[in-house]
Structure 1
Amino acid sequence: RTLLETVFQYGAIAALVVFQPELRSALARLGRSKMVRIFQRLEVGRVAEEVLEAVIRLSGLGHGAIIAIQQDIGLDEYAETGSFVDARVSADILTTIFTPHSPLHDGAVLISGNQIHSAGAILPLTQSQVDHSLGTRHRAAIGLSEETDAIVIIVSEETAQIAVAIEGHLEQDLSADRLREVLLGRLPTLDTALQPVELQA
């Protein structure tokens, strides 16, 4: 063994001893960051399934609904036109909000991350030429999707059909499987919008 090899070996050991607290802290941060990302991915999936379950229920009941899911562009200016809710996304709450004669059922629900941010919100109607058969909810959904990158889901009160507006385009008569595909294809961009997660060390 050469002198140089010996110096490197003992130098590495000494460095590990000297910098042990910093190394432990760095490894802990790395593990924590990974756990947070895993949690966020799981939470994105949960949000998608809760929204999907609510939409299926509302369609089955024939209750109209409009649900906008924020992506990168904030929806605060629209949220201010409704009532702040600040509740974790759940199918039960969404279904209750859109029950006929409830005070908030006529407006839109705005979701930010894993929270229902606002309900009863007023959205801008599209100024584009659209099918004359489309009602106010569909026009509002298209309007918001033209101004922001939100995913806007509509349940028709007249036909019970499910539709989604994204980037000014309306896709109608979606099946549950198709809506799930759309949500899971778009929602991963919500990772940064999810509420901060505090994990035990």
Structure 2
Amino acid sequence: MLDRFAVLHSWLSLLPPFTKTSVLEIIILSYFIYICLLWIKNTRAWQLLKGILVIFTFTAFAVIFRLSTIVWLIERISTAAIIAAVVIFQPELRKALEQLGSRDFFAKIFPEQISTDNSQNTVEEIVTACFEMAKKKTGALIVLEQKQSLREIEDTGIRINGIVSAALLINIFEKNTPLHDGAVVIAHNIVTAATCYLPLSEAEISKAYGTRHRAALGISESTDAVTVVVSEETGGISVTLQGRLIRIPDRETLRSYLPDNRKEKKGAQRPFLGLSFLRRRGEKR
């Protein structure tokens, strides 16, 4: 037992002395780690980072099992891989540096907490707005944020930060108005931005669908967002999520796809059974 304490004491003696300066350094390092994690969360860097983690896992596997040929190849391409990573992350790194020099940097780090108690009211306002616009064949594109941040999408448009209401959404998408072109982003029961640009999907879809539907599919392929589309040509309503385009026949079906109604309820054994039936119903139409 004494030998173990001696070994432990010898290890501790190798550490630098713990002083007030050490506490300050720990705080500064913790802050910068937090900033890096926040940056990764709010950009597409997280998707790229997962790919890098897969490569590191494969490298560790090759080293542990002594796959000499693979290790030799990894060593040769490691320098080029570092340069490639910098090139891949270039837009995100540039944006991070721009934010670092902006005046509202701390406001973005510590955003104002917004209540989510009125989420059911938000759903009803969206449903009402969509069916009112469908009657008049007013095109609309509404993106609802879920777990994955849509900060990059919001930055492409004009900030609104208004409480969700049917009247506000209808006014935004009214034809020949400054904000009607592009997508509206809704997060935490707030219309955060309008005229936002969405990535277009490259998937093959029916020619009956237009650019709005392709944009809605594009955002559903790269994020977990739920997007509602109102067709300007037909007045039809569709929803996209997880790379799928689903036609919506009535109000109840639309409610079932909006995020507030898709949350898992406590004690429910199969919470998405009804949802899967509605998906099949929507796709057949």
Q: 1:181 offset after TM fit, Å?
A: 1.7
Structure 1 vs Structure 2 CA RMSD: 1.7
Residues 41-120 of structure 1 mapped to structure 2, 5 A cutoff: 42-120=117-195
In structure 2, relative to structure 1, the CA distance for the partners of 1:187 and 1:160 (3 Å cut) is: farther
1:126 to 194, 197, 201: 201
- Which structure 2 segments of 5+ residues have no match? 1-114, 266-285
Question: What's the secondary structure of 1:158's corresponding residue?
Answer: coil
Secondary structure at the counterpart of residue 102 of structure 1: coil
Q: Which has the higher contact order (CA 8 A, sep 6+)?
A: 1
Among candidates 221, 224, 237, match of residue 146 of structure 1: 221
Q: TM-score, normalised by structure 2?
A: 0.51
| Partners of 1:114 and 1:188 in 2: CA distance | 19
Report the alpha carbon displacement of residue 60 of structure 1 after superposing the two structures with TM.
Answer: 1.1
Classify the secondary structure of the residue corresponding to 1:105: coil
The runs of at least 4 aligned residues of structure 1 exceeding 3 Å deviation read: none
SS in 1 for 2:118: helix
> Residues 98-155 of structure 1: CA distance to partner in whole angstroms, max 9, x if unpaired?
0000111111000001100000101000011222221000000000000101110000
Q: 1:186 offset after TM fit, Å?
A: 2.5
Structure that is richer in helix per residue = 2
Amino acid at match of 1:152: T
Quick one: distance in 2 between partners of 1:145 and 1:177? 22
**Which structure is higher in strand share?**
1
Query: What is the deviation of 1:67?
Result: 0.1
2:29 equivalent in structure 1? none
Q: What amino acid does structure 2 have at the position aligned with 1:78?
A: I
Deviation at 1:179, TM superposition (A): 0.3
Residue identity opposite 1:95 in structure 2? I
Separation in 2, partners of 1:187, 1:43: 15
CA offsets 1:28-86 (integer angstroms, 9 cap, x no match): xxxxxxxxxxx84x511011001111101111111000000000011111111110000
| Residues 98 and 106, structure 1, Cα contact 8 Å, conserved in 2 | yes
Tell me how far 1:187 sits from its aligned partner. Answer: 5.7
Residue identity opposite 1:92 in structure 2: A
Give secondary structure in 2 for the equivalent of 1:172: strand
Q: CA deviation at 1:185?
A: 2.8
TM-score of the aligned structures, taking structure 1 as reference length: 0.71
From 232, 241, 247, the counterpart of 1:157: 232
Structure 1 unmatched ranges of 5 or more: 1-38, 190-201
